[in-house]
Structure 1
Amino acid sequence: MELTSKGLKDFFREVVEMIEKEKDYLCDLDRKLGDGDHGVTMSIGWQAVEEKLNNELIEIEDCGKLSVAVGKTFLNAVGSSVGPLYATGFMRGAKTSKNKAVLNDCDLTEYWIAFAKGVKDRGQAEVGDKTMVDTLEPFARKLETSFTNSQDFELAFSEAVNAAEEGMNSTKDIISKKGRSSRLGERSIGAQDPGATSAYFILSTFLQFIKNNSAKTV
Structure 2
Amino acid sequence: MNSKDIHEIIIQIRNLIDNNKSYLVELDQKFGDGDLGVSMSQGFNGILNDYEDNNDLGRLLLDISRNFNESAPSSLGTIISFGIMGMAKSLKDKNEIGSEEFYCALISGVENIEKKAHSKEGEKTIIDSIRPALRKAEPFKSDGFVILSQKLMEGSAEGANSTKDMISKHGRAAYHNEKTLGHIDGGAYVGKLIFEAISNYYGQ
Instruction: Name the TM-score class by shorter chain.
Output: over 0.9
- Match in the other structure for 2:78: 84
- Match in the other structure for 2:2: 4
Alignment of 1:45-124 (within 5 A): 45-53=43-51, 57-58=52-53, 60-124=54-118
Q: Contact 1:93–1:115 (CA<8 Å) still a contact in 2? A: yes
Tell me the matched-pair count.
203
Q: 2:203 aligns with which of 199, 211, 218?
A: 211
Equivalent AA in structure 2 for residue 7 of structure 1 = D
Distance 1:162-1:125 versus aligned 2 partners, 3 A rule: same
Alignment of 1:139-158 (within 5 A): 139-147=133-141, 151-153=142-144, 154-158=146-150
Shift in Å, 1:193: 0.5
Shift in Å, 1:109: 1.6
Equivalent AA in structure 2 for residue 22 of structure 1 = N
Shift in Å, 1:161: 2.4
Shift in Å, 1:146: 3.6
Equivalent AA in structure 2 for residue 160 of structure 1 = L
Which 10-residue stretch deviates more, 153-162 or 64-73?
Answer: 153-162
**In structure 1, distance between residues paired with 2:128 and 2:203:** 24
**In structure 2, distance between residues paired with 1:182 and 1:89:** 22
Which 10-residue stretch deviates more, 64-73 or 121-130?
Answer: 121-130
Distance 1:143-1:120 versus aligned 2 partners, 3 A rule: farther
> Which is higher, the Rg of structure 1 or of structure 2?
1
- Match in the other structure for 1:25: 23
Q: Contact 1:64–1:99 (CA<8 Å) still a contact in 2? A: yes
Which 10-residue stretch deviates more, 190-199 or 131-140?
Answer: 131-140
Equivalent AA in structure 1 for residue 34 of structure 2 = G
User: What secondary structure sits across from 1:172 in the alignment?
Assistant: helix
Q: Contact 1:63–1:94 (CA<8 Å) still a contact in 2? A: yes
Q: Contact 1:176–1:182 (CA<8 Å) still a contact in 2? A: yes
Q: Contact 2:59–2:92 (CA<8 Å) still a contact in 1? A: yes
Equivalent AA in structure 2 for residue 166 of structure 1 = E
User: What secondary structure sits across from 2:34 in the alignment?
Assistant: coil
TM-score calculated relative to the size of structure 1: 0.87
**In structure 2, distance between residues paired with 1:123 and 1:132:** 11
Which 10-residue stretch deviates more, 13-22 or 135-144?
Answer: 135-144
**In structure 1, distance between residues paired with 2:107 and 2:139:** 11
**In structure 2, distance between residues paired with 1:80 and 1:122:** 15
Q: Contact 2:149–2:202 (CA<8 Å) still a contact in 1? A: no
User: What secondary structure sits across from 1:103 in the alignment?
Assistant: coil
Shift in Å, 1:82: 1.3
TM-score calculated relative to the size of structure 2: 0.92
**In structure 2, distance between residues paired with 1:93 and 1:167:** 21
Q: Contact 1:113–1:144 (CA<8 Å) still a contact in 2? A: no
Shift in Å, 1:190: 1.5
Shift in Å, 1:160: 3.0
User: What secondary structure sits across from 1:161 in the alignment?
Assistant: helix
- 1:182-217 deviation line (CA, Å, top 9, x unaligned): 1111111121110000011001110111112xxxxx
- 1:43 is aligned to 2:41: yes
Shift in Å, 1:112: 1.9
RMSD: 1.6
Equivalent AA in structure 1 for residue 40 of structure 2 = M
Q: 1:34 aligns with which of 29, 32, 35?
A: 32
